Amino acid sequence: MKLIPSIAMPAWVAGLKVITSRCETCHKSLALRHLSARKAGIRMHGNWYCSSRCFQSAVEQEVLRLLKPGTEQAARVERMPLGLGLISHGLLTIEQLKKATDEQKEVGGEMGELLVRQGSVSEKQVTAVRATEWGCPVFAVPKHAFRIGINLPSTLMRIYSMIPVHYVVRTNLLLVGFVNSIEYGLLYATEQITGCETKPCFVTPSDFQMQMQQQEKEPAQPGSTPARELTFESIQTPAEIAQTLCASGIEIEADEAFIERCREYLWARLKSETQAVDLLFRTG
């Protein structure tokens, strides 16, 4: 993030189109030639900020807005409990459900995992019933699938059991697979930060684990910029979050910033021509 004042341009640059940017915070304007415009200030959600001071102020206001009660994404819609869904599809008996429920009361655990572990149903049956309840398709991940060039924070993927499973370059469509339930707030944040149109689907726990391991082992695809990830678990004030983002932006000379809320996290992404960093702030 760097403010470029009025500077002398070489003769061969003089014919290039002049771009005038107006800071959203201080309302100062800066006229820049096309080649230097990329290095001046920083953009966030379509607005331009001329300096670190203006950017930090804007981030603080955005954080305050995102944390305001009532602005969080709508709570998930109540669906039929998994056990009842399996019974209604003729895949489970009442006795098998009672056995799993008793075990859940004693040792805890996710109902689907308990039912699969006790041998009452298969992974694929559980995933199919969940997908039906949410009105989404099941995506069968190919055994030799290539790593997708869309990077999401591994912390969020593991917490919400979600992962990008397919990307269509022609339509800019990103298919995101969930294991247990669809987090629409996370889908929205993914759209805003990556610029992709997202569609949800369901994947089996085994396919989810396979994709996570593949992403951790395989190098990024040529042309993609893997984001470094920083997580802040302790609650910070909006001013502290803004200060942290500003410092990181200066460090990597970021020219673009995004920030969105997904359930108990604020997810911010800073990008430069050669680097990207994801910052996750736990808010509750």
The DSSP result for 5-70, as a single string, is ------GGGTTSPEEEEE-TTT--EEEEEHHHHTTSBEEETTEEESSHHHHHHHHHHHHHHHHSTT
- Which pLDDT score is estimated for 77? 59
- Structure confidence by residue, pLDDT tens digits, 31-49: 554 444 445 789 998 899 9
pLDDT given for residue 112 in this prediction:
94
Rounded Cα distance, 178 and 8, in Å = 53
How do the residues of the chain divide into helix, strand and coil, expressed in percent and rounded to 5?
40, 25, 40
Beta carbons of 284 and 235 less than 8 angstroms apart: yes
- Pairing type for strands 276-282 and 265-271 reads antiparallel
Amino acid (one-letter) located at 169: V
C-beta neighbour count of 220 within 10 angstroms? 13
pTM beyond 0.85, yes or no:
no
Average predicted confidence (pLDDT) for the chain = 84
The per-residue pLDDT for 158 is 94
What does R_g of the chain's alpha carbons equal in angstroms?
23
CB 32 within 8 A of CB 4: yes
Please report the pLDDT score of residue 17 as a whole number: 45
Residue ranges in the chain modelled with pLDDT below 70: 1-20, 29-39, 70-78, 145-147, 218-226
